[in-house]
């Protein structure tokens, strides 16, 4: 017995395919079930709404909870009462944060609110 024999391991005999089949569980996959799940996906709507008062925030929340994207026209509330507009946007931001959604401004009079599985990415302003 040589000095290096201590480091050699005896190899176990190779397992036979029958033995492997007994040890590894078989999982059957139903291809039709996968296709069925894809057809059950509900459509996502992009809805346009007017934000005319604080009461309208609840309608936006309902749409977000249904998984829809909402584009809000805030021009009428902006002209009527800017402080109500700020409260409405703050409420909307809080609710979106709570459900995992996002709120962003598209233009001076348009705001977008998204449900949890939609992310907003705006272009970065060029630094001068």
| Cβ density class 15-41: b for 16+ within 10 Å, e for less | eeeeeeeeeeeeeeeeeeeeeeeeeee
Instruction: Answer yes or no: is 13 within a domain.
Output: no
Q: How many CA atoms lie within 13 A of 113 on its CB side?
A: 34
84 belongs to a structural domain = yes
Give this prediction's pTM. Answer: 0.65
- Domain assignment of residue 94, yes or no: yes
Residue 38 in domain: no
Q: Which domain holds residue 105?
A: 43-114
Give strand pairing partners of 50.
Answer: 73
33 occurs within a structural domain = no
Give domain status of residue 17, yes or no. no
What are the pLDDT digits (tens) for 70-100? Answer: 999 999 999 999 999 999 999 999 999 999 9
Is position 31 within any domain? Answer: no
Question: What digits encode the pLDDT tens for the residues 1-54?
Answer: 555 555 555 555 665 656 655 666 555 555 555 555 666 778 899 999 999 999
Q: Is residue 81 included in any domain, yes or no?
A: yes
Domain count along the chain: 1
Query: For position 103, which CATH number holds?
Result: 3.30.110.150
- As a whole number of angstroms, the distance between CA 95 and CA 88 comes to 11
- What strands lie across the sheet with 46-50, from one edge to the other? 46-50, 69-73, 110-114, 102-105
């Amino acid at each position: 017995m040589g000095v290096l024999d201590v480091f050699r391991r005896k190899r176990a005999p190779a397992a036979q395919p029958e033995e492997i089949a007994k040890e590894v569980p078989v999982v059957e996959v139903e291809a039709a079930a996968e296709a069925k799940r894809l057809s059950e996906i509900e459509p996502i709507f992009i809805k346009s709404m007017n934000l005319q008062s604080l009461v309208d925030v609840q309608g936006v929340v309902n749409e977000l909870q249904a998984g829809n994207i909402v584009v809000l026209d805030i021009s009428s509330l902006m002209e009527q009462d800017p402080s109500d507009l700020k409260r409405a946007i703050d409420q909307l931001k809080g609710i979106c944060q709570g459900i995992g959604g996002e709120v962003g401004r598209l233009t001076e009079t348009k705001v977008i609110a998204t449900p949890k599985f939609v992310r907003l990415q705006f272009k970065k302003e060029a630094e001068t």
